[in-house]
Amino acid sequence: MKTNIEPAEGKLGILIPGLGAVATTLIAGVEAVKKGISQPIGSLTQMSSIRLGKRTENRYPKIKDFVPLASLEDIVFGGWDVYDDNVYQAASNAKVLDQHLLDAVKGPLEAIVPMKAAFDHNYVKNLTGTHIKEFTTRHDLAQQVMNDIEAFKAANGCSRIVMVWCGSTEIYFEESEIHQTVESFEQALKDNDERIAPSMIYAYAALKLGVAFANGAPNLTVDIPALVELSKITNTPIAGKDFKTGQTLMKTILAPGLTARALGVKGWFSTNILGNRDGWVLDDPDNFKTKEVSKLSVLEEIFQPEINPELYGDLYHKVRINYYPPRGDNKESWDNVDIFGWLGYEMQIKINFLCRDSILAAPIVLDLALFMDLAKRANMSGIQEWLSFYLKSPQTAPGLKPEHDIFKQLIKLQNTLRHMMGEDLITHLGLDYYQDLVESM
Amino acid sequence: MKTNIEPAEGKLGILIPGLGAVATTLIAGVEAVKKGISQPIGSLTQMSSIRLGKRTENRYPKIKDFVPLASLEDIVFGGWDVYDDNVYQAASNAKVLDQHLLDAVKGPLEAIVPMKAAFDHNYVKNLTGTHIKEFTTRHDLAQQVMNDIEAFKAANGCSRIVMVWCGSTEIYFEESEIHQTVESFEQALKDNDERIAPSMIYAYAALKLGVAFANGAPNLTVDIPALVELSKITNTPIAGKDFKTGQTLMKTILAPGLTARALGVKGWFSTNILGNRDGWVLDDPDNFKTKEVSKLSVLEEIFQPEINPELYGDLYHKVRINYYPPRGDNKESWDNVDIFGWLGYEMQIKINFLCRDSILAAPIVLDLALFMDLAKRANMSGIQEWLSFYLKSPQTAPGLKPEHDIFKQLIKLQNTLRHMMGEDLITHLGLDYYQDLVESM
Amino acid sequence: MKTNIEPAEGKLGILIPGLGAVATTLIAGVEAVKKGISQPIGSLTQMSSIRLGKRTENRYPKIKDFVPLASLEDIVFGGWDVYDDNVYQAASNAKVLDQHLLDAVKGPLEAIVPMKAAFDHNYVKNLTGTHIKEFTTRHDLAQQVMNDIEAFKAANGCSRIVMVWCGSTEIYFEESEIHQTVESFEQALKDNDERIAPSMIYAYAALKLGVAFANGAPNLTVDIPALVELSKITNTPIAGKDFKTGQTLMKTILAPGLTARALGVKGWFSTNILGNRDGWVLDDPDNFKTKEVSKLSVLEEIFQPEINPELYGDLYHKVRINYYPPRGDNKESWDNVDIFGWLGYEMQIKINFLCRDSILAAPIVLDLALFMDLAKRANMSGIQEWLSFYLKSPQTAPGLKPEHDIFKQLIKLQNTLRHMMGEDLITHLGLDYYQDLVESM
Amino acid sequence: MKTNIEPAEGKLGILIPGLGAVATTLIAGVEAVKKGISQPIGSLTQMSSIRLGKRTENRYPKIKDFVPLASLEDIVFGGWDVYDDNVYQAASNAKVLDQHLLDAVKGPLEAIVPMKAAFDHNYVKNLTGTHIKEFTTRHDLAQQVMNDIEAFKAANGCSRIVMVWCGSTEIYFEESEIHQTVESFEQALKDNDERIAPSMIYAYAALKLGVAFANGAPNLTVDIPALVELSKITNTPIAGKDFKTGQTLMKTILAPGLTARALGVKGWFSTNILGNRDGWVLDDPDNFKTKEVSKLSVLEEIFQPEINPELYGDLYHKVRINYYPPRGDNKESWDNVDIFGWLGYEMQIKINFLCRDSILAAPIVLDLALFMDLAKRANMSGIQEWLSFYLKSPQTAPGLKPEHDIFKQLIKLQNTLRHMMGEDLITHLGLDYYQDLVESM
Q: Residue A322 above 50 pLDDT?
A: yes
- Grouping H, G, I as helix, E, B as strand and the rest as coil, residue C267 is strand
* Contact present, A374 and A69 (Cβ < 8 Å): yes
Mutation choice for A interface testing from D336, D340, D353 by most A CBs within 10 A: D336
pLDDT of A400 reads: 87
- Average predicted confidence (pLDDT) for chain B: 93
Read off the pLDDT band of B267 (50, 70, 90): very high
Amino acid identity of residue C429, one-letter, is L
Which residue of C266, C269, C324 is in closest CB contact with B269?
C324
Task: Give residue C1's pLDDT.
Answer: 56
CA distance A267 to chain D (A): 6
Cβ neighbours around C111 below 10 Å, total:
11
Contacts of D47 (CB under 8 A, 6+ apart): C262, C308, C310, C311, D39, D40, D41, D62
Q: Is D107 on the interface with C (CB under 8 A)?
A: no
Residue pLDDT, tens place only, B277-328:
888 888 888 888 888 888 888 998 899 999 999 999 999 999 999 999 998 8
Picking from D121, D120, D103, D109, the residue whose alpha carbon sits closest to that of residue D85 is D109
- The helix (H) or strand (E) run that includes residue C190 is helix C182-190
Contact B376, B237 (CB under 8 A): yes
**Residue B341 touches partner A, C-beta closer than 8 Å:** yes
Q: Answer whether residue B86 shows pLDDT above 80.
A: yes
Question: Tell me: the pLDDT tens digits for C156-211?
Answer: 999 999 999 999 999 999 999 999 999 999 999 999 999 999 999 999 999 999 99
Q: What is the pLDDT of residue A180?
A: 97
Would you state the pLDDT for residue B397? 87
Cross-chain residue pair A342–B359, CB shorter than 8 Å: yes
Cβ of D434 and C233 within 8 Å? no
DSSP tag of B286: H
Note the pLDDT of residue C381: 92
* Whether C289 contacts chain B with CB within 8 A: no
Which candidate from B56, B257, B310 shows the least CB-CB separation from A253? B257
- Is residue A389 within 8 A of residue B376, CB to CB? The reply is no
Note the pLDDT tens digit of each residue in D70-81: 999 999 999 999
Which CATH number is B247-354 given? Answer: 3.30.360.10
D288-311: per-residue pLDDT in tens? 888 888 888 899 889 999 999 999
pLDDT band at B1 (very low <50, low <70, confident <90, very high): low
- In this model, does residue D161 exceed pLDDT 70? yes
**Buried-exposed string A403-424: b where 16+ CB fall within 10 A, e elsewhere:** bbbbbbbbbbbbbbbbbbbebe
pLDDT at B76: 98
H or E stretch at C338: strand C332-340
ipTM comes to 0.93
The predicted structure's pLDDT at residue B439: 37
> For the purposes of burial, counting CB atoms within 10 Å of the CB of B57, is it exposed (0-12), middle (13-18) or buried (19 or more)?
exposed
C250-354 belongs to which CATH class?
alpha beta
Residue range B387-419, pLDDT digits in tens: 999 999 999 988 888 999 999 999 999 999 999
Answer whether residue A440 shows pLDDT above 90.
no
pLDDT at D437 over 50: no
Q: Which fold has domain D246-354?
A: Dihydrodipicolinate Reductase; domain 2 (3.30.360)
C335 touches chain B (CB under 8 A): no
Q: Please report the residues numbered 303 through 322 in chain B whose beta carbons come closer than 8 angstroms to any beta carbon of chain C.
A: 316, 318, 320, 322
* Residue B132 pLDDT greater than 90, yes or no: yes
Give φ, ψ of B414 to 5 degrees. Answer: -65, -45
Q: How long, in residues, is chain A?
A: 441
Q: How far is CA D337 from the centre of its chain?
A: 26
- Asked if C324's CB is within 8 angstroms of B267's CB, the reply is yes
Chain D residues within 8 A of A269 when measuring between CB atoms = 273, 322, 324
Q: Across residues D211-231, what is the average pLDDT?
A: 96
Burial C275-297 (b: 16+ CB within 10 A, else e): bbbbbbbbbbebbbbbbbebbbb
Question: Which residue among C266, C325, C350 sits closest to B326, beta carbon to beta carbon?
Answer: C266
Residue A367, min C-alpha distance to chain B (Å): 11
What pLDDT, in 10s, does the model give residues D100-157? 999 999 999 999 999 999 999 889 888 888 899 999 999 999 999 999 999 999 999 9
Could you tell me which of D289, D286, D246, D244 has the C-alpha nearest to residue D270?
D246
Rounded percentage of chain A residues whose pLDDT exceeds 70: 98
Task: Report which residue type is found at D89.
Answer: Q
* Closest chain B CA to residue C328: B267
Cis peptide before D62 (omega within 30 of 0): no
Is the separation of the CB atoms in D271 and A322 below 8 Å?
yes
Alpha helices in D157-283 (DSSP H): 182-190, 198-208, 225-233, 246-260, 277-281
Domain ranges, ordered by start, for chain B: 11-243+358-420, 247-354
Q: Dihedral sign, CA of A430, A432, A438, A441?
A: negative
pLDDT of A277 > 70? The answer is yes
State which fold the D11-243+358-420 domain adopts.
Rossmann fold (3.40.50)
Q: Which amino acid is at C331?
A: K
Asked if C411's CB is within 8 angstroms of D427's CB, the reply is yes
Inform me whether the C-beta atom of residue A362 falls under 8 Å from chain B C-beta atoms. yes
Task: Please answer whether residues A404 and A251 qualify as being in contact, where contact means their C-beta atoms are separated by less than 8 angstroms.
Answer: no
Q: In the predicted model, is pLDDT for residue A438 greater than 70?
A: no
Q: What is the pLDDT of residue A48?
A: 95
Rg of the Cα trace of chain A?
22
| A99-124 pLDDT per residue, tens | 999 999 999 999 999 999 999 989 98
Q: How many CB pairs below 8 Å do chains A and D form together?
A: 47
Residue type, D295: K
- Residue-wise pLDDT for B60-73, tens only, equals 999 999 999 999 99
* Residue ranges for chain C with pLDDT beneath 70: 1, 435-441
Q: What is the pLDDT of residues B344-388, one digit of tens each?
A: 999 999 999 999 999 999 999 999 999 999 999 999 999 999 999
Residues 6+ apart with CB under 8 A from A195: A173, A176, A178, A179, A188
